Amino acid sequence: MGLLTDFAKGILVMAVILLSLSIVTLFVQTRMWLVPFFLLILVIPASIIAYQFQRFVKKKQKAARLDRVKGILIASFGVCFAWWTFDVTLTFYAINAMGIASELNPLGWPLGAVGGLIFYVPAFVFTYFLAFRMKHKYSMLAAIIITVLSLYIGFMNFIAAGQNFSLILAYLAPPSLATYVYVFSLLLFVDIAYTVAFIRLTRLKFLKRPSPYAIAIALSCIALIVGIVQPAYNFIYSHMQNGQPSFDLSGFFVAYTYSGIEIRNNGSATAYNVVITYCFLRRLNASLPYRSPEWAGGGTIPEIKAGENGNLAVSVGRYDMETTFPNTNVTDFGAQVTVSCAYEGSEIRASFELDSLEIIPTT
Residue 206, pLDDT > 70, answer no
Region 131-139: what's the mean pLDDT? 78
At residue 283, does pLDDT exceed 50?
yes
Q: Please, which residues have CB within 8 angstroms of residue 130's CB and are 6 or more apart in sequence?
A: 139, 140, 142, 143, 146
* Span 85-102, average pLDDT: 80
| Section 143-164 average pLDDT | 88
pLDDT at position 239 over 60: no
Amino acid (1-letter code) at residue 116: G
- C-alpha 251/C-alpha 358 separation (Å) is 8
Lowest mean pLDDT among 116-120, 263-267, 292-296: 116-120
**Direct distance between the N- and C-terminal alpha carbons of the chain, in angstroms, rounded to an integer:** 44
pLDDT at 363 over 50: no
pLDDT at 331 over 60: yes
Which of 22-31, 57-66, 205-214, 275-284 shows the highest mean pLDDT?
Answer: 275-284
Q: What is the mean pLDDT of residues 132-152?
A: 85
Contacts of 315 (CB under 8 A, 6+ apart): 99, 257, 258
Whether the Cβ atoms of residue 343 and residue 271 lie closer than 8 Å to each other: yes
What percentage of the chain reaches a pLDDT higher than 70? 79
Bridge partners of 229, per DSSP, are: none
pLDDT in tens, 337-362: 999 888 766 788 899 988 888 777 65
Supply the pLDDT for residue 278: 92
259-265 and 309-314 strand pairing: antiparallel
> What is 247-359's CATH superfamily?
Immunoglobulins (2.60.40.10)
Grade residue 276 by pLDDT with cuts at 50, 70 and 90.
Answer: very high
Tell me how far apart the alpha carbons of residues 127 and 150 are, in angstroms, rounded to a whole number: 10
What pLDDT score does 185 carry? Answer: 84
Domain ranges of the chain: 2-230, 247-359
User: What pLDDT, on a 0 to 100 scale, did the predictor assign at position 207?
Assistant: 47
Question: Strand order of the sheet with strand 358-359?
Answer: 309-314, 259-265, 247-254, 358-359
Write phi, then psi, for 202 (nearest 5 degrees).
-95, -10
Q: How much is the pLDDT for 339?
A: 92
| Measured CA distances, 105 to 98, 112, 116, 256 (Å) | 19, 6, 11, 14
| pLDDT in the model for residue 26 | 85
Name the average pLDDT for the chain.
79
What is the pTM (predicted TM-score) of this model?
0.61
Mark 102-117 as b/e (b = at least 16 C-beta within 10 Å).
bbeeeeebeebbeebe
Higher pLDDT, 316 or 359: 316
**pLDDT number for residue 217:** 64
Least confident of 167-171, 259-263, 304-308, 338-342: 167-171
> What Cα–Cα distance (Å) separates residue 109 from each residue in 94, 103, 254?
12, 6, 21
pLDDT of 24 over the 70 cut: yes
Residue 212 has pLDDT above 80, yes or no: no
Instruction: Please report the pLDDT score of residue 221 as a whole number.
Output: 65
